[in-house]
A and B are shown apart, each in its own frame.
Chain A
Amino acid sequence: MSLVKRYSSKKPYLASLSRRDAIKWIGALSVTAAFPGLTACSSQALAPQSELAKGHWPQLELPVINATGYGKDPNLIIAPRASWPRTLTAAQLTFIAIFADIVAPREGSVPSASEVKVPDLLDEWVSAPYERQQQDRVSFLHLLAWLDEEARRRFDNLFVDVTASQQLAIIDDIAYKKAMQSEEFVRPAKAFADFRRLVLACFFCSPAGVKDIGYLGNVPIVGDYPGPSDEAMTHLQGVLDELGLTL
Chain B
Amino acid sequence: MMEGQINGHDYDVIVVGSGAGGAMAAYTLTKSGRKVLMLEAGRDYDPKTETPMFKSNFDAPLLGAGNSDKDFGFYDATVDGGWEVPGEPYTKGEGSEFLWWRARMLGGRTNHWGRYSLRFSEHDFKGFSRDGLGADWPFEYWDLAPWYDETEALVGICGTNTGLDDMPDSPEGVLQPPPKPRVPELLVSAAAKKLGIPTAPMHRAVLTRPKDDRQACFYATPCGRGCSIGAAFQTTTSLIPMAQATGLLTVITDAMVKEVNVDEKGKVNALTYIDKKTKQAHRLDAKVIILAASACESARILLNSKSESHPNGLANSSGHVGRNIMDSTGVSYGAHIPALEGRPKYNEDGHTANHLFIPWWGHKVQEKKAMAFPRGYHFEIGSGFRAPSSWVSGDLDGYGKPLKEIAKQAYGSYVGLALRGEMLPNDDCYMEIDEDVKDKWGIPVVKFHWKWSQHELKQVEHGLKTARQILETMGAKFDKPLPKAEDAILKGGQIIHEVGSTRMGDSPTESVTNQWGQTWDCSNLFVMDAGVFASNPHKNCTLTIMTLAMRNSTWLARQLDKGEL
Contact = CB atoms under 8 A, between A and B. Distances in A.
A87 interface: no
Interface stretch (A22-30, A37-45, A97-105): A97-105
Given A76-B75, A79-B60, A243-B475, A219 B220 contact: yes
Contacts of A104: 400, 403-404
A131 B190 CA distance: 41
B551 interface: no
A216 B392 contact: no
A215 B388 contact: yes
Contacts of B51: 76
B63 A202 contact: yes
B68 interface: yes
Interface in B373-410: 385-392, 396-401, 403-404, 407-408
Given A218-B54, A218-B221, A232-B346, A225 B69 contact: no
B343 interface: yes
B284 interface: no
B79 to A, nearest CB: 4
Nearest to B67: A130
A235 B344 CA distance: 7
Interface string A197-239: 1101110111101101111111111101111110111011001
Nearest to B346: A229
A69 interface: yes
A193 B396 contact: yes
A72 B536 CA distance: 30
Interface in A51-66: none
Interface stretch (B80-88, B120-128, B483-491): B80-88
A76 B392 contact: no
Contact of B348 (A82, A217, A242): A217
A242 B218 contact: no
B562 interface: no
B474 A225 contact: no
A125 interface: yes
A131 B401 CA distance: 31
A204 B388 contact: yes
A225 B86 contact: no
A21 interface: no
Contacts of B74: 70, 74, 76, 79
Interface string A72-115: 11101101111100000000000000000011110100000000
B68 A130 contact: yes
Given A121-B63, A229-B346, A220 B474 contact: no
B80 A72 contact: yes
Interface in A119-138: 121, 124-125, 128, 130-133
Contacts of B49: 77
Nearest to B408: A213
Contact of B396 (A71, A72, A200, A216): A200
A229 B181 CA distance: 12
Interface residues of B, number: 81
A1 interface: yes
Interface in B198-220: 208, 217-220
A230 to B, nearest CB: 9
B403 A196 contact: yes
Given A124-B62, A220-B220, A225-B179, A205 B56 contact: yes
Contacts of A33: none
Contact of B408 (A202, A214, A218, A226): A214
Contact of A240 (B67, B187, B399, B403): B187
B339 A175 contact: no
A68 B475 CA distance: 46
A215 B80 CA distance: 32
A210 B388 contact: yes
A107 B402 CA distance: 11
Contact of B392 (A82, A175, A204, A222): A204
Given A80-B61, A205-B57, A246-B193, A239 B340 contact: yes
Interface in B71-99: 74-75, 79-82, 85-86
Nearest to B76: A76
Given A105-B401, A236-B187, A247-B189, 14 more contacts: A70-B74, A76-B52, A128-B61, A175-B399, A205-B57, A217-B220, A217-B347, A217-B348, A218-B54, A218-B221, A225-B351, A239-B343, A240-B187, A247-B186
Q: Which 4 A-B pairs have the closest CB atoms?
A: A227-B180, A217-B349, A220-B218, A130-B67
21 contacts: A72-B80, A77-B55, A79-B60, A79-B61, A83-B61, A102-B399, A124-B61, A128-B67, A177-B397, A196-B396, A201-B391, A210-B388, A213-B408, A217-B385, A219-B220, A222-B218, A232-B343, A232-B344, A232-B345, A239-B340, A240-B187
Interface of A: 1, 69-74, 76-77, 79-83, 102-105, 107, 121, 124-125, 128, 130-133, 171, 175-177, 193, 196-198, 200-202, 204-207, 209-210, 212-222, 224-229, 231-233, 235-236, 239-240, 242-247
